Amino acid sequence: AFADDFHTFAIDWAPDSITWSVDGNVYQHRTPADTNGNTWAFNKPFFLILNLAVGGYWPGDPDGNTTFPQQLVVDHVRVTTNDNQPPA
């Protein structure tokens, strides 16, 4: 099962796009054109939150097969910058 192994979650955040991936596989990519006229929210500072949440859009709501209790085990967190990106 997915929960039996460690995984690499990544967010690649550039001034004109943001891309989310798991184990090198992109599962979401957004640009300002995707906002349907709303403000592009990803052009200001943010902070990281690591938590264990149950249910929601991804991966879905718990059911009778969901094992409780669960734990979030984090091996490490790395934040890097791309010096080749122009400032926002």
Return the pLDDT at 60.
79
pTM: 0.69
Digit-coded pLDDT (tens) for 22-75: 999 999 999 999 999 899 988 888 888 998 888 877 677 888 888 888 888 999
- Count the helices and strands in the chain (H runs, E runs): 0, 3
- Stated length of the chain: 88
Choice among 25-29, 78-82, 83-87 with the minimum mean pLDDT: 83-87
Q: What are the CA-CA distances from residue 1 to residues 6, 31, 66 (Å)? A: 11, 32, 12
Q: Which of 87, 12, 77, 68 is nearest to 50 (CA)?
A: 77
CATH topology of domain 1-88: Jelly Rolls (2.60.120)
Contact criterion met (CB below 8 Å) for 57 and 66: no
What band does 81 get if pLDDT is binned at 50, 70 and 90? Answer: confident
Each domain of the chain, given as residue ranges in start order, spans 1-88
